[in-house]
Amino acid sequence: MKVKKYIAPTMPEAMSKIRKELGNDAVILNSKVIHTGGFLGLFKKRNIEIIAAIDPDLAQNNATNELKRDEGLPFSKSAFPETNQASDNQQLVLDEVRSLRKWVEKNNASQQISAFPQVYEEVYTLLVEQDVDESLAQELVSRVEQQFHDEDMTVDQVKQLIQVEIKTELEHIGCGGVTYDKQFIHLVGPTGVGKTTTIAKIAANCMLQDKKNVALITTDTYRIAAIEQLKTYSKILDVPIEIVYTLDDYKKAKEKFKNYDLVLVDTAGRNFRDPKYVKELGEVIDLKHDIDTYLVLSLTTKSSDLVSIYQQFNTIPLKRIIFTKTDETASYGSMLNITIPNNVGIAYITTGQDVPDDIFEVTGEKVGHLVVGATENA
């Protein structure tokens, strides 16, 4: 078995060296981040150190087989007796080498090899378990590791620093609830995420905390239950409500409520995968003038589906995201997968069905604690 150590600035460069010297049947035994060079302990460069190995006999046998196959010769026991002299154990080793090689290539291609020191690797794993996208988790951990690689860090210290990174990112994007710079607020999103209940919570808080005059509009005429639910909330809160079926109805409702501080508009959920939905939505309500639109998403939805939903509704100018049903899951990382790559902030997070209590405005600090702090109890 031939074993050799390689050092390169990046994983792709290291893999290129390994393939060039050891061939495609080489296997990675170990990889880690190291820091070299520098002056008086400063300005060290980050490199990847990889220990790779190859069995020369197995590599030669494999190369012979490939050469004879390329020559068009029949690949059989009688034609290649030397190939079949390898023991069953040798064949198992060869299969394992190939399997490991494919794994390394797959992860390297998708930039999912983290190669962090143990403490940072542990936090990276926790983020991924929280449904943070692997590339985003690697980026967050890399920032902290590059700043503090010369210091002895504990897992808790790294987690606190990751929380700071999340807070900084989201504060730069901008988070928080209603600011009253727009009179009309539309809530859009797929069915079943809790838009109607969320509207009632926002309305109640705007009335009770900010002393605002609030009105309601619903365009969800596909579900009688949704209309009745919002009517019930309007009676409890003592706020007016209008049901609209067309864009003309919507314009009349806007005129009727022009003297109110805030008008909250509930929209039909329906199937977000239907491309006609967003178009039809625009035919009923004005999505571009004097309004803010909030996309409501449930954290119980698969992370990949959340991305698909966001892309579907991204044709609408979106102000911020509202995440619901945080009380029904222990994974919160998918919030970051939507907000950070798309540069869109979070307005509210809801934590249950109670109106008006189970809702709070979002700050970067709160999201960081949810994503990273939640791992403490995982």
Give the other-Cβ count within 10 Å of 226's Cβ. 20
pLDDT tens track for 229-285:
888 989 999 999 998 887 788 889 989 998 999 999 988 765 555 556 556 666 666
pTM of the predicted model, to two decimals? Answer: 0.68
Antiparallel, parallel or unpaired: β 320-324 and 241-243:
unpaired
28 vs 12, 53, 105, CA distance in Å?
Answer: 13, 7, 10
pLDDT tens track for 128-163:
999 999 999 999 999 998 888 777 889 999 999 999
The residue extents of the domains of the chain are: 2-115, 119-173, 184-362
How is 14-51 classified by DSSP, letter by letter?
HHHHHHHHH-TT-EEEEEEEEEE--BTTBSPEEEEEEE
pLDDT tens track for 29-52:
777 777 766 555 455 677 788 888
Alpha helices in 110-246 (DSSP H): 118-129, 134-148, 155-173, 195-208, 224-237
The answer to whether domain 184-362 has CATH 3.40.50.10190 is no
Residue-level pLDDT at 354: 85
CA distance 313 to 278: 7
Over range 12-16, report the average pLDDT: 80
